[in-house]
Structure 1
Amino acid sequence: MADNRALAANTEGRFWGAGAMTSQGRWSRRALLRMLGAGIATAGAGPLLPKGARAGSAPSRQAWAALEQQLQGRLLTPQLPWSNASAGVLQKLRNPFWIQDQPMGLQSTGWLGGWQAAASSRAIAAESAEDLAAGVRFAQQHRLRLVVKGAGHDYLGRNCAPDSLLLWTQPMRGIQVHEAFLPQGAPAGTTAQQAITVQAGVRWLEVYVAATAAGRYVQGGGCTSVGACGGFILGSGFGSFSKRYGSGAAGLLEAEVITADGRIRRVNQHQDPELFFALRGGGACSFGVLSSITLLSHPIPERLALVTGGVKAVDDAAYRELIEAVLRFYPRHLDNPHWGEQIQFNPDNSLGFLLTALDLPDAQVRSSLDALLEPFRAQPDRFTVQPEFTFMPFKDIWNAEAWERLKPGAVIRDDQPGAPKGRFWWEGNQGEVGAFWNSYDSLWIPTQALRERPEQVANAFLDASRHRGFTFQINKGLSGEAAEARQRDRATALHPDCYGAAALVICASLQQYRYPGLAGHEPDIQQGQAEADRVQRVLATLRRVFPKAGTYGNETDYFLKDAGQAQWGPHLERLQAIKRRVDPSNLFRVHNGIGNLQG
């Protein structure tokens, strides 16, 4: 099961397996002019200080030495891992877990016309909330740019910046399973809940393994190497089973957070509920740095089905027929808490499945898809129909050996010496390791439009697919969400557009294993311009039909217009008020984040 964020964009028109979709994209004229006029911007583009503030002088050697003494050796001078890289290092850079073990390890290396990877002046290898608080106080005192990085997956360059102090949370690895968790300050009579507390450096694979051992499930990200405590939760966080369990943000029960004043706070719905609201989807690294989070856990599902493969049409007319059939089928059969992941629409008139189904009988999964596919099987001269079904106990979903038996090639083992047994990543995620992004964009597709005007939407999908492939990610649209999950989500900062959305459409293009500044491995600007242009043509085609659609802030365009409204809609003013209260000097600022929306 590939992560729904994995848009490898390296192969064209494959429709028969996981991770098969690729897209092609657009170079925006605005981005080109920006690059030609000023060169590629550094990460986290935008004002380094709030408007009206004065830049201070760099910390003195004595100041750095005092911080180093306080941290007892945990203050580092980091470098990008590909600086003067040898062949051996370049090979290691293909392993996401090796990347994460490097203080400046980044899975994405830049964005055409937007940002490029840059090393911080110093990095704190934080082992505790106190280490993080020391870094926050130092940055505040010296008016120093502050950035936060855990696993290093951010697409938008929000986890690195030159001339900055990096809070590197990866060494914080603790996990605690709770049979009966009560948030701090909860009034008498509050019902305790089963939960899991994870520190800032823990990855989702580790959370899932711990939860499974306890007979539980936690709603998180699909990618095994993504950090659990950071941008995923802060940015809303959609996983493979969001229609059943809700967003990652909605599962947050309590957070330990260090705010701009250097205080270590424990916040939840009873203690500082406004800051808690902001941490549940208000944007990555905009309100503070998380040192640990406690997440609601659920009884583990019994059964998982994976549907891959797809359908290929012989010509445009047949493909248009197929698209409309899928769009009509979706609201009636797949828009419910059982189904997740994505459908891929490709330029070669193929449609690919990467669908998950929870706790449905195997026969029902097959019959559900047969209801869609039988009319096309009956026309072998016009359609090639090749679905593939994989069924397994849900408890085996994080078991590499089980995947190697059932679907060889689906997982890649971490073969580093000393790596934990069974640590792996999905083959579908390999395509975004070492990604230099040409373009990336997304918008929500309303379910109502599929019901009321499927012909118009099908025409738009066909026209868009002529430029580049795109994914229809149904787990990132919460139409059809379980009622109890919807209740939790309504208490978060999620853009309300997601509740009526059938799916989030994503189109992207990247150049893999490209490292700005490394001779022989630089991004190809001309290629990037052409592909970025195709991405934006796809989204422009869809926005003519859905001109006011919102988007998911963790997976959107670096050059997003009206970024505040697009990401948070009616919650924007509330989030800005919280920001002014807890971070009046705008210490925590990231591109397109609250407090830096004009960056």
Structure 2
Amino acid sequence: MAVKSPLVACQDNPAGAACRDVFKGLKNPYYIGDDAALTQTAGYLDAWASQPSVYAVAARKTADVVAAVNFARDNNLRLVVRGGGHSYLGTSSAPDSLMIWTRAMNDITLHESFVAQGSEDPPQPAVTVGAGAIWMHVYNEVTTRGGRYVQGGGCGTVGVAGLLQGGGFGSYSKNYGTAAASLLEAEIVTADGVVRIANARSNPDLFWALRGGGGGTFGVVTRLTLRTHELPDVFGFASMTIQAASGSSFRKLVGAFVDLYADRLHDRHWGEIVNIKPGNVLDIQLSFQGLSKQQADELWQAFIRLVSEAGGEFAFTRSPSIRTGPAARRWDAAYIRQRAPQAILSDDRPGAPAENVFWAANLSEAGHFIHGFESLWLPASLLDGVERPRLVEALLAAAQHATVELHFQKGLAGGSEAAIASAKETATNPAVIDAFVLAIIASEGPPAYSGLSGHEPDLADARKNAAGIAKAVGELRKVAPDGGAYLAESSFFEPKWQQAYWGANYKRLLQIKQQYDPAGLFFVRHGVGSEGWSDDGFARLAAHQ
């Protein structure tokens, strides 16, 4: 299919109704996902802009992917592989390219007793998904309808294949591990057009690389089979927002939270986010599993009392809430609409399936324009008694410049033995095993496109925010100089990306890349083997010819 961008309507009439409809659609991730010309991120300041491919192969079966790979290789074409279309680093689009678009390959099949091809392992419960499936639909099948748990991502409209190849974390990763570690088997079309099965027995090197080595690099994944787990009775949430009256009070508050986390929450039960914000604000939005409400209440009791009894030093701007709900209803759209309708938004296009929902918390990411993005794993050694004051000071210094998001589920330290052991078998940077948290510092604006009259990004605001992000992450690097970054959520300008994304695993990944794709048909900027190519992927650098 020839790819035609709906943004053409805005070039003709930027203030017209048709253009307004397009920008309304850009706040609906399902609208974006169903259009081959669009991506879930509109662009990134001074880095990249979403630009459609010239043609796309709307693949519906593996044979379509084989045909597209062979055609691109034989005609020396720039290839883009796209499933869910979520990529902060811009790898879901490229101008003058042929796109292999797997959106329609979205079948989801549950297995009570799956055995990987050639394996002698005992059968186990699993789910097989097509490369174009998104997590919200997979959770609906596995959990709402199937009563099981599968480790996926937090944002429900992210593609399964892309998240898993990048590593992949969800709210409960400290207990269940990464999404990459849950992979039992993949079907992949490599650069020679051959369909291969990759699992622990068949093509084990390729299997290892697909578990965190980066999407669109080793071939086109067409099908994935993931381990599923017994579902707990309940999942829980703990939330509150606290305003400190002064800088000294904020220091005391952040210190008290770090103590609480290190002493009582640093285990397999807790995940999700705490925001340390400019203006002396602490915003807590954590998830938990494996605990009753009473157990969770007891863990937080002393901290809540400290805040409540501190006189004028602290004030709850959002009251503490610790609640649990049936785990089987965690992604049940009908149940959520009844109990917490404000938590989800729906695909509002006529005729859209009722299960096309997404978290309201992810609305800002739909069609967003990124000002800057940094991530850094913080080692668990910073939770040791003598190190805690350094950690607190670094967090406070960073929060002078930008909000510091602490994603506790994206560091596996303190997690279950199974989560840690399985992560060691993947290509993800080993730094994740020793990290208690992934710190993310980022900023974004609404959908915007340079050169589109009336819809350009606010560059002055973007540059101001980008400068703040750079200063904030600089403060954190003082205590974690070798932390590494999470591939899927990181800076476009990551200087030592091989080490940051993969650490000691990079050498082996590069060998696998050279084995399966020696000519570099599959190019992803800052992907394995990309140092041999120009930034746009169109020219092999002289030193690597």
For normalisation by structure 2, the TM-score amounts to: 0.94
Q: Does 1:563 align with 2:497?
A: yes
Aligned counterpart for 2:150 among listed residues 199, 218, 232: 218
Q: Which residue of 2 aligns with 1:15?
A: none
Cα deviation, 1:190-233, whole Å, max 9, x if unaligned, reads: 2111100000111111111111222211000111111112x201
- Within 5 Å, which residues of 2 pair with 1:267-416? 267-385=198-316, 386-416=319-349
Letter matched to residue 393 of structure 2: N
- Within 5 Å, which residues of 2 pair with 1:24-39? none
Q: Which residue of 2 aligns with 1:149?
A: 82
Post-superposition, which runs of at least 4 consecutive aligned residues in structure 1 deviate over 6 A? none
Q: Tell which has more relative contact order, 1 or 2 (C-alpha 8 A, sep 6+).
A: 1
Q: Does 1:249 align with 2:180?
A: yes
- Within 5 Å, which residues of 2 pair with 1:459-498? 459-498=393-432
Aligned counterpart for 1:194 among listed residues 122, 125, 146: 125
For normalisation by structure 1, the TM-score amounts to: 0.85
Kept in 2, the 8 Å contact 1:331–1:447? The answer is no
Kept in 1, the 8 Å contact 2:7–2:22? The answer is yes
Aligned counterpart for 1:548 among listed residues 475, 482, 492: 482
**Cα distance in 2 between the residues matched to 1:304 and 1:226:** 21
Letter matched to residue 209 of structure 1: N
Kept in 2, the 8 Å contact 1:117–1:516? The answer is no
**Cα distance in 1 between the residues matched to 2:249 and 2:286:** 23
Letter matched to residue 560 of structure 1: E
1:460 deviation in Å? 0.9
Kept in 1, the 8 Å contact 2:79–2:521? The answer is yes
**Cα distance in 2 between the residues matched to 1:548 and 1:218:** 31
1:364 deviation in Å? 1.3
1:248 deviation in Å? 0.3
Kept in 1, the 8 Å contact 2:36–2:52? The answer is no
- Within 5 Å, which residues of 2 pair with 1:175-190? 175-187=108-120, 190=121
**Cα distance in 2 between the residues matched to 1:79 and 1:437:** 24
Identity %: 37
1:337 deviation in Å? 1.3
Gaps of 5+ in 1: 1-75
Q: Which residue of 2 aligns with 1:578?
A: 512
Q: Which residue of 2 aligns with 1:79?
A: 4
Q: Which residue of 1 aligns with 2:464?
A: 530
When structure 1 is superposed on structure 2, of 356-365 and 82-91 the one drifting more is 82-91
Kept in 2, the 8 Å contact 1:404–1:411? The answer is yes
**Cα distance in 2 between the residues matched to 1:232 and 1:202:** 11
1:397 deviation in Å? 0.9
1:485 deviation in Å? 2.1
Secondary structure of 2:412's aligned partner:
coil
Q: Which residue of 1 aligns with 2:27?
A: 94
1:304 deviation in Å? 1.2
Aligned counterpart for 1:260 among listed residues 171, 174, 191: 191
1:274 deviation in Å? 0.5
Secondary structure of 1:354's aligned partner:
strand
Q: Does 1:436 align with 2:369?
A: yes
Kept in 1, the 8 Å contact 2:395–2:404? The answer is no
Q: Which residue of 1 aligns with 2:139?
A: 208
Kept in 2, the 8 Å contact 1:144–1:165? The answer is yes
Aligned counterpart for 1:515 among listed residues 422, 445, 449: 449
1:321 deviation in Å? 0.8
Q: Which residue of 1 aligns with 2:543?
A: none
Kept in 1, the 8 Å contact 2:3–2:36? The answer is yes
Cα deviation, 1:495-528, whole Å, max 9, x if unaligned, reads: 1111111100001011112123321101122221
**Cα distance in 2 between the residues matched to 1:391 and 1:406:** 12
1:540 deviation in Å? 0.7
Kept in 2, the 8 Å contact 1:219–1:247? The answer is yes
- Within 5 Å, which residues of 2 pair with 1:221-236? 221-229=153-161, 231-236=162-167
Letter matched to residue 438 of structure 1: H
Letter matched to residue 205 of structure 1: M
Q: Which residue of 1 aligns with 2:106?
A: 173
Q: Does 1:425 align with 2:332?
A: no
**Cα distance in 2 between the residues matched to 1:269 and 1:397:** 31
Cα deviation, 1:251-296, whole Å, max 9, x if unaligned, reads: 0000000111111111100001001000000112111111010000
**Cα distance in 1 between the residues matched to 2:90 and 2:451:** 16
1:394 deviation in Å? 0.8
1:185 deviation in Å? 1.2
Gaps of 5+ in 2: 11-18, 536-545
Secondary structure of 1:485's aligned partner:
helix
Letter matched to residue 472 of structure 1: L
